[in-house]
Amino acid sequence: MQSPVNKQAGQALVESVVGLTYVVIPLLIILPFMAKIGGVQHKAQQASHYSAWERTVWKERRPSKLPRRSGLYLAQKSEQDTAKQIPWRFYQNDGNKLTSRNSSQWDWNKSVHPILRHQTQQNQSADTLLKSNQQTPANTNVLDRFTRSHSGGRLPGAVGSAVGRAVGLLSFTGFSLERDQFYRTSISSNIQNLYLAPFDNLNLNISSNSALLASGWNAAGPYHVKNRVKRLVLTNYMDVSVIRTAQSLLGIIPFGKELRPSRLKLGYVDPDILPTNRLCTYGTTNCGG
């Protein structure tokens, strides 16, 4: 004998309530938070790459063989000055002009991009996700919400050893290059905990590392180039008074005019000289026209 089927009134409603309570609503709360964590990670990656790439343009200290004369410009910037540019370049609101000299005051509560702000406390407005490095936040300190490390060392591995030996072999000429130009940078930030359990004890730390070999050859103008390469020109060691006198005597002979010191300049270095095809007026015949 078959038992009668009982109608389960309200079953779909109960399932919907359970699904909304334990799945949908938590996801609606957590997904925006996790998306902004991804934004923080992306900003950290950009900042670490920037810190490393800046060393291809700005030197940290005076390079070797830099001549002491007027008219030279050395692009030099300390690690701290580079770090102070990070919030303005990567954490601030959209639509602001980037400049190396900021006239306005930075504020971690007002200046940061919306992707770096979220409601982390119940019944409060959105706050900056990046946690302060101090017990009492210093919102006007551009270095308050992230930490950074920066180090320059020798290129690791077989390539670094080969370069070191090559430069070492040339050291007897007085030639030298900076060999500590393999820069490692790291940007790290602590994230505010969310007020909902179990996310109130996450204590997340977002970090990004970058490494770059910034060529030690970068020179501060043509005079610096000349100082560095002149000793590598072997005929430079023949540029002495005895040989110049011999050149002058040989220049008296009709077929020896090209040997005169004014014509045959031993050890002569001109870092600004250009190929003939680069000296033409662009757009004319045989010059891009």
Give 46-58 pLDDT, tens digit per residue.
Answer: 999 999 898 888 8
- Residue 42 clears pLDDT 80, i.e. is over it: yes
Q: Is the pTM value of this prediction over 0.85?
A: no
Across the chain, what does the average pLDDT equal?
A: 81
- Residue 216 clears pLDDT 70, i.e. is over it: no
- Residue 265 clears pLDDT 60, i.e. is over it: yes
pLDDT-derived band at 219 (thresholds 50, 70, 90) equals confident
86, part of any domain: yes
> Region 163-190: what's the mean pLDDT?
78
pLDDT for 188 equals: 93
Q: By C-alpha distance, which of 136, 126, 227 is closest to 177?
A: 227
pLDDT for 119 equals: 80
**Are 150 and 258 contained in the same domain?**
no
Give the start-end residues of each E strand in 203-275. 205-213
**Are 153 and 256 contained in the same domain?**
no
**Are 183 and 40 contained in the same domain?**
yes
**Are 121 and 248 contained in the same domain?**
no
pLDDT for 289 equals: 58
162, part of any domain: yes
What domain range is 117 assigned to?
Answer: 16-66+75-133+142-218
pLDDT-derived band at 202 (thresholds 50, 70, 90) equals confident
**Are 127 and 240 contained in the same domain?**
no
The answer to whether the peptide bond before residue 63 is cis (omega within 30 degrees of 0) is: no
Least confident of 65-74, 132-141, 197-206, 238-247: 65-74
**Are 274 and 170 contained in the same domain?**
no
Distance between CA atoms of residues 281 and 214, nearest Å: 34
109, part of any domain: yes
**Are 116 and 239 contained in the same domain?**
no
8 A C-beta contact, residue 118 and residue 127: yes
Distance between CA atoms of residues 145 and 191, nearest Å: 9
Distance between CA atoms of residues 158 and 14, nearest Å: 67
261, part of any domain: yes
CA 222 to each of CA 178, 230, 232, 266: distance values in angstroms, whole numbers, following the listed order? 18, 12, 16, 19
Least confident of 2-6, 73-77, 226-230, 261-265: 2-6
223, part of any domain: no
151, part of any domain: yes
Least confident of 19-23, 186-190, 225-229, 241-245: 19-23
- Residue 129 clears pLDDT 60, i.e. is over it: yes
**Are 269 and 168 contained in the same domain?**
no
**Are 97 and 210 contained in the same domain?**
yes
Distance between CA atoms of residues 238 and 163, nearest Å: 28
**Are 55 and 111 contained in the same domain?**
yes
Domain count, the chain: 2
Tell me whether residue 150 is exposed, middle or buried, using C-beta atoms within 10 angstroms of its C-beta: 0 to 12, 13 to 18, 19 or more. Answer: buried
